[in-house]
Structure 1
Amino acid sequence: MAPREVKKYGSMSPPNSKTSAFSASQGTSFGSTVANLSKICVGTGVLALPYSFAQGGVLCSVFGLAVIAVWNSYSISRLLKCEEIIVSMGFQRRGDVGTFSAIAKEAVGNVGLSLVDYTIVIMMVGVCISYQVAAAGFLANDPTLSFGTAANTVLTAVVLLPISCVPDIGFLSKYSVMGLGAIVISFLVIFYHGYTEYGLSGFGDVPVSTLYPDSLTNLSHWYGVSCFCFGISPMTFNVKDSMSEPSTMNSACRVALLVVFLSYCVIGDGTLLLLTPDGAPGITGDILQSLPAASLMASFVRISMTFVCLVSFPLCMVPAAEVVEGKLFMTGKNSEPTPVHLRVMTRSVLVAVSTTVAALIPSFVLIVSLIGCLCVGLVTFIFPPFFHMMLLKHQREYNRDSKERHSLLDVESHNGEFTDEGAGVIQEEEEERMKKIRLDRVMLVLGVISTIFTTGMTLGSVAESMRT
């Protein structure tokens, strides 16, 4: 194989230095990075966690959640290794191409680039759908605010379309930050309601049948929601590029995943046991459905969460729309803005798609589970090991070509005599590479099987909900 041409994609710093290879700005401390990663995980999807634990079982959900946290850590470490590999082969990224997309392009070409871009677009649109379903559902559960689920969904679209078409959504960021506070308040109200209604009786007697899932369908629902609530892989490089010490990204991710895992165990099992003692109705949807309909405090929580969902919607819709606009109209390069009429047209179509799906599948927990099983499964459990495995093979070929050139120079410098220096090092490197490839193969197979199986099971539940 001929030596690969160095691709000039903008400025690049060397790997493992104080500056990230794809850095845009630096300054975030280790602690702040852990906090940022934790906040990325803890979003509106956490409202489906008690349902997830009810589906997966009180005990099995905890062990399963630990597995998913470790699996996420492995995937993030593989993505960071992929970045190191492409940098070591002389790659330099273009300014308008994300690092994840650049890795995909180097690993499997334009097909990989398109696959990652469109998977992330679908995932972000899916998150938008979950926001819209949640907002309509929160209003529908309140007798003073509901016009019916379908009417509420259309009303949310009337609000969402104008703010999704504005050229700059930066002003919404300060409102979306309120989301974490609204979620905390929501669970405090839920815990208070559960304690006043049932006390702590649910913690004293836990039936054996509730410790584990009672069907494969329930297991797939648990898996999807849990994956959704840990979906930070696409944000790996955005967070890393803001760090003052990018080399500590792996450690920051591990600490953040541990913090989130412990928090989810408290939220999931704590809420489930508090609200579902023997004889109480089970949790069948987002946890706000467990609040009394006529309560003033419950109405305040629902209105707050509805507001958070509405202002968070454009923060996912606009980046997704910009990718689509770039693909369709070749805009976005060199800061070239999308013409107003094309921007309005694209975002109107995407909001219409979101509204249609939200009206057809008005189940927040099923939407979250489907996104988790399919999109998060692809981005977190399939792409990282596959891309890493392919890049290791490319790196081997690249290093072999490099060493052949150096060997020829070495022969010339030794008057035509070959030397065996470095042969042992090369063999050790190859053995280490093969160990990594074998592990990647195992993880890839697990990712493919779990994604296909759980997505199929969840789609079955979605189809059933649409028939009823």
Structure 2
Amino acid sequence: MEQDSRSMATPLLESLPSRTGSKLLTMGNIIVSVVGTGVLALPFAFRIAGWLAGSLGVAIAGLTTYYCMLLLVLCREKLASDGSLAEAKTYGDLGYRILGNPGRYLTETLVLLSQCGGAVAYMLFIGQNLQSVFQGNGFTFTSYVFLLVPIEIGLSWIGRLSALAPYSIFADVCNVLAMGIVVKEDIGQAVTGRASFEQRTAITPDIKKLPFAGGMAVFCFEGFAMTLALESSMQDRAKFPRLLALAFCGITFLYVLFGFCGYMAYGDETRDIVTLNLPGTWTSCTVKAGLCLGLVFTFPIMVHPVNEIVEGKLESFKWFRKYLHADDNDSTGLGKFGTYTSRAILVAGLAVMALCVPAFGVFASLVGSTVSALISFVLPATFHLKLFGSSLHVWQKALDFILVFVGSVFAVYGTYSTIVGI
């Protein structure tokens, strides 16, 4: 199954013709793709690890993610120079070209799990923040999650995701506003003398907590599977590495600043979603409601790659094509019903998963430690080693082996420590 490149693209990318994106537009797409709800859990990660350990962890995660994104681009360029018949458009295509069918299955499975994890995080975030805004009305977290289900099912049936692009931008604007309000609150705490730098931990004495915080830091750098689509959207693709470096420098700096300020403001009272620490003022409530509204409309974007993979697999079955399609290009009424049903089942299943998650921070750490570490570090280094082989310098081989080993150990131990923490 050759997966369409749009399955790994945001609506902003989907609306662009191939290779027509300016540097400014590509920069915006990178920011929209990378920055997500995980940033609002960073102050909690700093509380767990300490402000110094947290800052170093975020910087290392950002630098490593950037390097591994470049490895994917190098691998595609290598395949193109070797005379491949068609360009690898998606992460799954790249896995297939390098490792065959097992590579595609592994890559697409990890992408599916990653996107499902992000979608569950959206539901957790929306439910907890709505409960915080509308306190005392008798609605519980479970009630808000189930209220989301019919809305998200309806949105998942929309054919063109480009119609939801403005809401994706709106959600990112709300993220920036939330970060600004947290920083403002931190300054207020410092001015009134309620925040003491000496009372904040630099490095936690319990080093067993560091993988937990590390998983949350890795989770913050979303959008790894969109690397190839982002690079393809540029007019001058040779400038992509430098543009990506500038974007990651800015994002990483803001992440460190935000996590540091949030932890300094609330200390040991820092919640796993820092917006829950905000006072009950109309400004804070407006930001929370705006974040929730934006994520309601960007939820279909998060599950779109999952729908693409699932429906693509269904298309491979002869009985599905025979009974649900009039011909190769036209779906029958029964076929459309089958598509709508599969998408509704997916949304309902994700909602049930969200209700089973004990806390946003725990879930973010689990996804970051497992799926995100494998898809962002282990697979790119493996592809690089497999494709370039003996042509690599000793230091390049050593770095790839370190990424594979450390990423795998981190995935195993991070998962263990998160489960034990639960």
TM-score range, shorter chain: 0.7 to 0.9
Normalised by the length of structure 2, the TM-score is 0.87
Q: Distance in 1 between matches of 2:23 and 2:207?
A: 40
Q: Distance in 2 between the 1:451 and 1:337 partners?
A: 41
| Aligned residues of 1:26 and 1:241 also touching (Cα < 8 A) | yes
**Structure 2 unmatched ranges of 5 or more:** 5-15
Comparing 338-347 with 64-73, greater Cα deviation is found at 338-347
Q: Which one-letter code corresponds to 1:43 in the other structure?
A: G
1:109 partner SS: helix
Q: Which residue of 1 aligns with 2:53?
A: 60
The structure with the largest alpha-carbon Rg is 1
1:155 & 1:306 partners in 2: Cα distance? Answer: 13
Match of 1:315 in 2: 301
Residue number in structure 2 paired with 1:289:
276
Q: 2:250 aligns with which of 238, 251, 259?
A: 259
The match for 1:130 is 121
1:166 aligned partner, one-letter code: I
**Which residue pairs with 2:312 in the alignment?**
326
Residue number in structure 2 paired with 1:381: 377
Matches within 5 A, 1:43-442: 43-93=36-86, 98-142=89-133, 143=135, 147-196=139-188, 199=191, 201=193, 205-207=197-199, 210-276=201-267, 281-293=268-280, 295-330=281-316, 339-393=335-389, 430=390, 432=392, 435-442=395-402
| 1:202 shift after superposition | 6.1
Residue 459 (structure 1) shift: 2.7
CA RMSD of the aligned region, Å? 2.7
Contact 1:202 1:273 in 2 (8 A): no
Change in CA separation of 1:38 and 1:197 when aligned onto 2, cut-off 3 Å: same
The Cα offsets for residues 408-428 of structure 1, whole Å up to 9 and x where unpaired, read as: xxxxxxxxxxxxxxxxxxxxx
How does the TM-score come out when normalised to structure 1? Answer: 0.79
The Cα shift of 1:55 comes to 1.4
Q: Is the 8 A contact 2:18 2:233 kept in 1?
A: yes
Instruction: Compare the two structures and name the one with the higher helix fraction.
Output: 2
SS in 1 for 2:51: coil
The Cα of 1:186 is off from its aligned counterpart by: 1.8
* Cα distance in 2 between the residues matched to 1:145 and 1:33: 44
Correspondent of 2:407 among 442, 447, 468: 447
Residue pair 1:392, 1:437 contacting (<8 A) in 2 also: no
Counterpart AA for 2:310: V
Q: How many Å apart are 1:189 and its aligned residue?
A: 2.9
Deviation at 1:123, TM superposition (A): 0.7
* C-alpha deviation, 1:262, in angstroms: 0.8
Mark the CA change 1:155 to 1:131 in structure 2 (over 3 Å): closer, same or farther.
same
2:28 maps to a residue whose letter is A
Residue 233 (structure 1) shift: 2.4
Residues 22, 235 of structure 2: 8 Å contact kept: yes
SS in 2 for 1:326: helix
9 and 263 in structure 1: CA distance in 2 versus 1, 3 angstrom threshold: closer
CA contact (8 A) 2:262 2:270 kept: no
CA 1:334–1:291 in 2, change beyond 3 Å: closer, same or farther? farther
- Percent identity between matched residues is 22
Partner of 2:7: none
